[in-house]
Structure formats: structure tokens, C-alpha cells
Structure 1
Amino acid sequence: MSWDKKNQVYQQMRKFDIKKISLFSKLQNKTVGVGFLFAIMAAAFSALPNVIPKSLMEEQVAEASIVPNPMMLVFVIYIVNSLLFSPFRKSDRKSANIKKGRTTLILLILLGIAESAGTLSYTLGLQETSATNASILVNSETIFAILLGIMIFKEKLSKQEMLPFILIVIGSIIIPVGVDMNHNNWKLSNFMIGDLFIIMSGFFYCLDTFIAKKLSDSIKTRHIVHIMSCTGAIMALTLMLLFQIPFDINLEQLSIISIVGYLGIGVTMMFFVIALRIIGAVRTVLIYATTTVFSIIYSFFILSENITILNIASAGCVLVGLFVLRNRISAD
């Protein structure tokens, strides 16, 4: 083969490689874009249960209007998710490692208990406090996660991590709780009790995260949501029977809370996991932190709640703290 022909072949191969790299780069960019889209949608859907139940629990249009109990709403959310995310067929796995299977099942049940306890605490708190306040206070989950990491796993915060941690504490607890106490002349009120329930839900959601980390990556998201929802439904039903809470809910409320629960818990978890696998944990968690922003927007448009400068300052402190802290952790 002559030199000219060799050169022509080489040039053609080079053009083909460049086209291949260009095509791969475009596909990669599109994939990353899809990952960001799933993370944003997860945040948007996750904010729905932070706001919509509030409108149902305050529904008093007529004298005959039914105001559902928070526990009833939680029961509906989990029973719907348990049905919609039930597996269509049995697992093909052989019972070779029965002990591992039992451990996984126990972890899934504990995950369901922690998740449902968090949802119940949040819904009880939401009945007493504002949806805007609740969406900010629930970020206390991060504070509890860090404190548990320090106490149980002997982890330490570096000097660079102290400032963002303090910002999260100020934004998610000190400002909203302090404002509420000041408005009520530093006395305990129903509004304050609602705030405490929301903070408690942050603790349960934190436990939820710790338990989820122990679960195997091989477990399908559908199975996790299904068992978690079944546990939550059983727990809510048991409490309803124990405290003799009536099953009062009309068809319209049932439809609304079913859709909200399905999108806000089941679909959110699926989108979150998809985003996690495409763009990684740090990016996904940072985008997911915008749930607070979506909650405040929904509170303004759906519930017509007043958004104050202090609300914006609280949310700003939390978002900046989360962004700096998680970027710092990812750098390490």
C-alpha cells in the first residue's frame, strides 16, 4: 500500500474516532441532563406531602365537611403505596442464604417503622404549624444525622464543616422556633408543639437514612417501597384502632391524598434512586435539597401563606449550609 493510501485510511479512521467521541460526549451530556431532571422532579414531588395534607386538615367549607385525622391520612398514603408498588411476581432468588434474607427483611421493616413514624410526626405537626415553617424545620434531619455520626460512629467535624453546620442549625431550628416563641410571648402554644413534632420527624427521617444505607444495593426500589409502605400502613392502622380514631374521609379527600402519597413517597423514591445512579450521590442530594424551596412555593400558591423575610432567611441559611457542607464532604 502506498503512503498516500495509508494517509487517507489514517485520516478516515481519525475522523471516525472524532465522530465517535463527539457522539459519546453528546450522549453523556444528555444522560447527565436526564439525571438532573429526575433529581428536580424528585424534589418537586417530595414537597407535595409537605403542603397538601394541610389543606385537607383545614377543610371546613360546610358544616358537614369531614376533616380527616392526620393518622387517617398517613394510613391512606401507605396503603395506596403498598398496593401500587406490590411486586407482580415472586423473587427468583433461591433461599441459599436464609440468614441474610432475614436480616434484610428486618432492616426493611425497621425502615418502614422509621419512615412511617417520621411521616406521622410530620403530619401531626403540620396540623398545628404552617406548611412554610414545617418545610424549613424538617431539615433538622441533617443536624440529627451529623450528631448521630459524632456520637455513634465517632466522626468529627472539621473546622471548614463547622460554619455550614451552624448555618443549618440557625436556619432549620433557631430562627423558625425563635420567631414562633416570640410571637407567643415565649409561651408554649399549639404552634410551638407543631414545630416540635416536625423536628421529631426530622429525627425519624435521619434514622430512616441510616437504616437505608445498610440495605443491599441489589434490592429493587419497588420492593423497598412495598415493604416500607406495608409496615407503615400496619403501624398507622394499629394506632388508629388503639386510639379509636374514626375512618372519616370523603372520596375527594381520598383521591387527593392517594395521588399525593403515591407521587410524594413512592415516585419520589424511584426518581431519587434513578438520579443517584446517573449523576451520583452528591449532585442528587444537593438538588434534592431544593424540596424546601418547592414547599415554600406550594405553600404560597396553594395555601396562600405569607412568606416573610425570616422564612426566606431560614431557607437561605439551610440551603447554603447544605451546599457548602456536602461539597466539602464530597471533596474529602
Structure 2
Amino acid sequence: MTIRTAAPALAAALLFGASTPLAKALTGSIPPLLLAGLLYLGSGLGLGILLALRRSMSGAATSPLTVPRQETPWLLGAILAGGVAGPALLMTGLASTSAASASLLLNVEGVFTALIAWVVFRENASRHIVLGMLAIVAGGLLLSWQPGSLRLSAGALLIVGACLCWAIDNNLTRKVSSNDAMLIACIKGLVAGVCNTGLALAGGDHLPALPALGAAMIIGFLGYGVSLALFVIALRLLGTARTGAYFSVAPLFGVVIAFGMWPQAPQPAFYVAALLMALGVWLHLREHHEHEHSHEATEHSHAHRHDAHHQHEHAFDWDGKEPHRHLHRHEPLVHKHPHYPDTHHRHSH
């Protein structure tokens, strides 16, 4: 695996990790559930504006912004699990759980994501990937661990439930990851934002002052919207378990940024956690998976280049620009080359 292949997942982790300390600065002026709703709304609205600008600049040649009907149940399930149920369980659990315990428990998401990908969706897992995942999760646990902080209470179980919801979201989103990443992230942000903001306002919360409102929307656009679009691209390139592992380094980025905002000397555990996470990323980058495999005939639409998997003619005048998107057919193919569980390599072993 190369840094270029892993870059979208690591960039998504960096943006999401940065959003945590930035959003924390707003918690005094915006109630938690309302803040979650505004962050999602900011992501959806911001990406919606980018989609409109992209479409206006591309002109008539732009493909329709749609999700195939047969894939909408996957997208709806991802939105309900990760955008509605997950935040609701988290906010309810946080009411009776310490911040330290919550931070520690949130690392379970990466474990659940990988387990569902490996057990339910039969995604390939090599020794390097499993060991790398364990190192990254161990680093995350160490990063948020405080002696005596973990209590198995009802609130803690709710947070674990939220992690399970986000893990389901990650795996279901992979099913639609071949579609426009910005569109998928926009839809998820808008639906989750409307649901969470509506629940908060119905519960008696009030919209904050304009500066805080604008800050929440901008943080949401970058930390949730752009981050999620990159996450979808990573799912397309790497599969769910590998993307989830890279995304699990987000807390490390968050802590580093928090040190910059609120200067303090890092504890020794921080350096050990950073080394563990770096080891995990290195193990993933060292993965080499190659064997003879077959591709069944299929027809779909996604952004692509004319590589070994895309040797087809066009039924329209093509200007030669790549990548480009259109409905295309893959003929049956058997070959051997290094690969990962991306859009075209979801085969069994």
C-alpha cells in the first residue's frame, strides 16, 4: 500500500480530529445535541454549495447527481444508524458518563467497524492489517485512559451502542461508496443535521448567537463534511476495515491540535500512544496482497481512469479527460496484481 492510497483516510482523520478540540470550545455556548445538529447541518449545507458550484462550472456535461435506486436502502440505513441513532445514544450516554470514560469508549468504534467488515461482509484481513488495527486501537485506548475512569454504567453502554451504530454506518456507506463522495456526504449531513437540530429545538434548546452559529457550521463543513467525503473515497479505495483503522488515528490529531490551542506538556503516555499508532499505520502501509483473482461481469457508474480494469469504448464523444464518470460495463476478467478490497476487489478468498 502507498501513502497516496492511504492519504484520503488519513486526511479524513486529520480533519475530524481537528474538529473535536474546535467544537469543544463551543460547548459552553451551545448545548451538546444542538451542537451535533449544527455540525451536521454545516457539513450538508457546505457540501451542497460546493456541489452547486461544481455543477455550474461543469455545464451540461455533468452527470446527474443521483444514487441508484437499488443502493438507497444502504444509504438510508447508514444515515439512520450513524447520523440519527449514533449521536442520540452518545448525547444520552454523556449525560451520565465522564468525558474521560467517553473518550476511552469511543475507541470501540474502530474495533466494531473492522469486526463487522471481516465477519459480516467477509472483507479480507491479512496479518499486517490485524496487527496494525490492534496497535492503532491500543494507542487510542492509551491516549484517552485515565486510571479509574472506566465504569460499566448504563451511560457507558449507551456510548458503546453509539459506537456500534457508527460501525454499522461505516460498513453500509461502503455499499454506496462508488457514487459521488461529495453527494453521499452532503445527503448524510443534511438528514442527520435536520434530525438532530430538530430534536434539540423540540427539547427546548435555542439557536446560539450568530458568531457561535457560524463557527459551528464552518467546523462542521470541514470536520464532518469534507472529512466524510474523503472517508467515502477511502472506503472506495481501501475497504471498510482499513479505512476504519486509519480513521482511528483521529484522536491523536485532535490531541496534538488541542496542545496547540491550550499549551501543556504532554504526558509520557501520549508519546507511547503516538508510537503505537504510527506502528499501526506503518504495518498497514507494508501490506502486500497479491493473488490470481476473477472479476465477474458487472455494470456500474463511478469516477474512473482507463486502467487495467477499465478497458471499454464510449457511446458518446469523450474529450479524453480523466478521471471521468459514466455508466460502463466490466467484462469477466481473471488476472493477478497487488490489490486491496476496493470497489473492484470485493471477492472471497
Please classify the TM superposition score into its range, dividing by the shorter chain length: 0.5 to 0.7
For 1:118-172, what per-residue CA distance to the aligned partner results, in whole angstroms no more than 9, with x for missing partners?
45556677886558983x7544332112322454246786666664454345433
Say whether the 8 Å CA contact 1:41–1:271 is kept in structure 2: yes
Q: Please, what TM-score do these two structures have when normalized by structure 2?
A: 0.61
Equivalent residue of 2:205, what SS? coil
For residues 28-56 of structure 1, the C-alpha deviation after alignment (integer angstroms, 9 at most, x for no partner) is xxxx9988876665443222222222222
- Answer yes or no: is 1:44 the counterpart of 2:14: yes
TM-score, with length taken from structure 1 = 0.63
Letter in 1 for 2:25: S
Q: Percent identity?
A: 22
Instruction: Check conservation: 2:174, 2:235, Cα contact below 8 A.
Output: no
Partner of residue 254, structure 1: 213
**319 and 276 in structure 1: CA distance in 2 versus 1, 3 angstrom threshold:** same
1:104 maps to a residue whose letter is E
CA shift in 2, pair 1:252/1:238, >3 Å: closer
- 1:143–1:168: 8 Å Cα contact kept in structure 2? no
Q: Match of 1:111? A: 78
Q: Paired residue for 1:301, among 260, 274, 282?
A: 260
Map of 1:171 onto structure 2:
139
Verify the 8 A CA contact 2:117 2:123 in the aligned structure 1.
yes
- Does structure 2 conserve the Cα–Cα contact (< 8 Å) formed by 1:82 and 1:227? yes
The structure with the largest alpha-carbon Rg is 1
Q: Which residue of 1 aligns with 2:180?
A: 220
The residue that corresponds to 1:310 in the other structure is: 269
Match of 1:204 among 144, 162, 165: 165
Aligned mate of 2:189, from 221, 229, 234: 229
Distance of 1:232 and 1:197 partners within structure 2: 19
TM-aligned CA distance change 1:276 to 1:207, over 3 Å: closer
**C-alpha distance 330-172 of structure 1, shift in aligned 2 (>3 A):** farther
Instruction: Name the CA shift for 1:245/1:325 in 2 (closer, same or farther; >3 Å).
Output: farther
Partner of 1:77: 39
1:212-233: CA deviation from partner (whole Å, max 9, x where unpaired) = 221151x222321221112202
Aligned-partner residue type, residue 280 of structure 2: G
Query: Corresponding residue for 2:115?
Result: 147
Higher mean displacement: 160-169 or 74-83: 160-169
Query: Contact (CA 8 Å) 1:132, 1:305: kept in 2 or not?
Result: no
Structure 2 residue identity aligned to 1:232: A
Number of matched residues? 277
Cα RMSD (Å): 4.4
Pair 1:81–1:187, CA change in 2 (3 A):
closer
Distance 1:115 1:251 in 2: 28
Structure in which a larger fraction of residues adopt helix: 1
Secondary structure, in 3 states, of the residue corresponding to 2:139? helix
Structure 1's unaligned 5+ residue stretches are 1-31, 60-66
Q: Distance in 2 between matches of 1:301 and 1:129?
A: 24
CA 1:147–1:281 in structure 2 vs 1: closer, same or farther (change >3 Å)? closer
Q: Hey, what's the Cα distance between the residues in 2 that align with 1:260 and 1:154?
A: 35
CA contact (8 A) 2:128 2:286 kept: no
Alpha-carbon spacing, 1:248–1:47, altered in 2? closer, same or farther (3 Å): same
